[in-house]
Amino acid sequence: MDFLTRHRSIVALISFSLFCIISLSVQGGGFTLTFEGVMSAIVTPFSKGYNAISNGIGGLFSGFEATDTLRENLRKAEAKLQKYESMQIEIIQAELSEVRTENEKLRVLLGFKERVRYNSIASQIVSKDPDNWFRTLIINKGANDGVSVNMPVIAYQNGQKIVVGKIVEVRGSISRVQPVIAPDIRLGVKLQESKIPGLISGYSYNSDFCVVSYISRATPVKKGDVIVTSGQAGVFPPELLVGTVERTELSETNPYQKIIVKPYIDYSLLEEVFILLKNPDKDFFEMFGEVQ
Amino acid sequence: MILPYIFTALLTAVALILQGADIIAIAGKKPDLVFIIVVYIGYSFGSFNGQLAGFIGGLFHDSISRSPLGLLTLPKVVLGFMAGMIGRGVVKNTVIAIMLLLFVASLLKGILTLFLAYIFHQALLVSVIQVIIPEALYNAVIAPPLFFIFDRIFHGELERGGFL
């Protein structure tokens, strides 16, 4: 006992180190998850509170600035409304309906599957990963709102659906989103033009780029080519925008080329996301033994 | 006696909340405020308190991060211990000395984290340039004013312990 007291620093160092090493070795075990749950439950209300206060203060100041902009926008909107009212709306609607019907007929003729529409829930980012090594986002919707693991998360930009990431952890009122720039995410994508499929993941820790792997060296790829989801991995619906090609990297030893992609989403500016209420395709996951 | 522990816990909680927000990020890089607190506690109150702060702060950090439990804790424990071994007796409380202390400690912490990530998780060598060095520089720059504030917060305890 006297030895322990005299050498308490060394004893503590060994004990703490052993705890960490054992925990790292058995990661994913029940204790780890429960412990993290308790810690999250303690810290999350503070994060939410901070977020609410900072949003409130920011909103107050921006509210003053926004009044003038709002008045100007209102004036423009009124002018636009008058212009549109003067147009023959019925004719436009009839033309639109005709095009839609024709599109559906063509889809049937080409044997395309009917597009499935998924419900979505809007959610706010309340916090981001506190460390530079990981890039996850914490959102204010959780199991209580019907969110579950592996649901796709998207954002809207200029009316287009853009991939943000997928849900990797769900608690009562919050969830953790793994963004597409994280090195440990894997997402089925394809080149929009040539339809060549590949697998996208984050380029590295703390980088804002992604990398598409398993694209043959022979495939022509140029800067600006659009990358979309393939829908083949069972998590994301097809044809959601991911990013554009920045450059390609070739190495002597690799039969594939690496395509560096710049995502459409700027993660430092992202505030609001939408969770698609789509559960992963069960058959696909069972095939790879990922469903317990 | 319990007051320094409460202050440390509060500071750690505030640090984690600030790190979760983007306001302290420069070009996407954040300082490790929890680590700065750990080094301060070790530097001011000895190895045992340093590693204790590292253990508790690291557990909180791991828990609200995506990291496996222990990955961010162990480097903080080790560096908290080492900062205590050095202490105020060796490194004087000057701006340059503190900056240097934090820079070296952050580099060591980063290398240890990378090593653990390599064994237990997933590691990329490019992290040295993209994560470790920028974080070490950022920590070194903001450490002197933070140490000054911490000195004021823990003034009573430092005087009682004869650390000043």
Which secondary-structure segment (H or E) carries A120? strand A120-128
Q: How far is B117 from chain A (nearest CA, A)?
A: 10
Higher-pLDDT residue of A53, B53 = B53
**pLDDT computed for residue A77 by the predictor:** 86
**pLDDT computed for residue A40 by the predictor:** 61
**pLDDT computed for residue A291 by the predictor:** 43
* B164 in any annotated domain: no
Tell me how far apart the alpha carbons of residues B63 and A15 are, in angstroms, rounded to a whole number.
Answer: 19
* A290 in any annotated domain: no
Tell me how far apart the alpha carbons of residues B143 and B146 are, in angstroms, rounded to a whole number.
Answer: 5
Which of A26, A35, A124, A133 to probe the B interface (max B CBs under 10 A)? A133
Residue B124: alpha-carbon gap to chain centroid:
23
**pLDDT computed for residue B28 by the predictor:** 78
**Same domain? A192 vs A269:** yes
* A291 in any annotated domain: no
**Same domain? A103 vs A146:** no
Which of B19, B32, B35, B65 to probe the A interface (max A CBs under 10 A)? B65
**Same domain? A131 vs A264:** yes
Domain that holds residue B149: 3-20+29-156
**Same domain? A60 vs A147:** no
Q: What is the mean pLDDT of residues B76-80?
A: 95
What distances in angstroms separate CA B122 from CA A67, B114, B126, one per listed residue? 49, 9, 12
* B114 in any annotated domain: yes
- From the list B17, B69, B74, which residue is nearest A35 (CB)? B69
Minimal Cα distance from A31: which residue of B?
B69
What distances in angstroms separate CA A253 from CA A204, A256, A260, one per listed residue? 20, 9, 18
Which of A4, A7, A8, A13 to probe the B interface (max B CBs under 10 A)? A13
* B161 in any annotated domain: no
Say whether A131 and B67 touch across the interface (CB within 8 A): yes
Residue B99 identity: M
Domain that holds residue A101: 1-113
Tell me how far apart the alpha carbons of residues B100 and B94 are, in angstroms, rounded to a whole number.
Answer: 10
- From the list B52, B59, B66, which residue is nearest A136 (CB)? B66
- From the list A8, A35, A130, which residue is nearest B19 (CB)? A130
- pLDDT tens for B2-17 read 777 888 888 988 888 8
Higher-pLDDT residue of B116, A56 = B116
Say whether A131 and B30 touch across the interface (CB within 8 A): yes
* A233 in any annotated domain: yes
Are A201 and A184 in contact, with CB atoms under 8 Å apart?
A: yes
CATH number of the domain that residue B123 is part of: 1.10.1760.20
**Same domain? A108 vs A127:** no
Question: Which DSSP string do the residues of B26-66 spell out, in sequence order?
Answer: BTTB---HHHHHHHHHHHHH-HHHHHHHHHHHHHHHHHHSS
**Same domain? A128 vs A266:** yes
Say whether A130 and B66 touch across the interface (CB within 8 A): no
**pLDDT computed for residue A243 by the predictor:** 93
- Specify the number of domains making up chain A: 2
* A106 in any annotated domain: yes
- From the list B19, B28, B81, which residue is nearest A13 (CB)? B81
**Same domain? A109 vs A210:** no
* B100 in any annotated domain: yes
Tell me how far apart the alpha carbons of residues B81 and B64 are, in angstroms, rounded to a whole number.
Answer: 23
Tell me how far apart the alpha carbons of residues A242 and A159 are, in angstroms, rounded to a whole number.
Answer: 14
Contacts of B29 in chain A (CB under 8 A): 132, 206
Minimal Cα distance from A41: which residue of B?
B64
- Predicted TM-score (pTM) of the model is 0.72
**pLDDT computed for residue A261 by the predictor:** 93
Tell me how far apart the alpha carbons of residues B128 and B133 are, in angstroms, rounded to a whole number.
Answer: 6
**pLDDT computed for residue B65 by the predictor:** 84
Per-residue pLDDT of chain A (292 residues; tens, 9 = 90+): 677 777 888 888 898 989 988 888 876 443 344 555 656 656 665 665 666 666 656 655 666 677 788 888 888 888 887 777 766 677 777 788 888 888 877 877 776 555 557 788 999 998 888 888 888 899 999 999 999 998 999 998 877 889 999 999 898 888 999 999 888 888 899 998 888 899 998 887 777 889 998 888 888 888 999 999 988 777 888 888 999 999 888 887 888 888 999 999 888 888 889 999 887 766 555 555 544 3
Q: What is the mean pLDDT of residues B55-80?
A: 90
Write the DSSP symbol of residue A1: -
**pLDDT computed for residue B93 by the predictor:** 80
Sign of the CA dihedral running B62, B66, B68, B74? negative
Tell me how far apart the alpha carbons of residues B32 and B15 are, in angstroms, rounded to a whole number.
Answer: 8
Minimal Cα distance from A179: which residue of B?
B66
- Which of these, B96, B107, B86, lies nearest to B40 by C-alpha position? B86
**Same domain? A138 vs A207:** yes
**Same domain? A211 vs A102:** no
* A284 in any annotated domain: no
* A191 in any annotated domain: yes
Contacts of B135 in chain A (CB under 8 A): 132
A-to-B residue pairs, Cβ atoms closer than 8 angstroms? 162
**Same domain? A227 vs A258:** yes
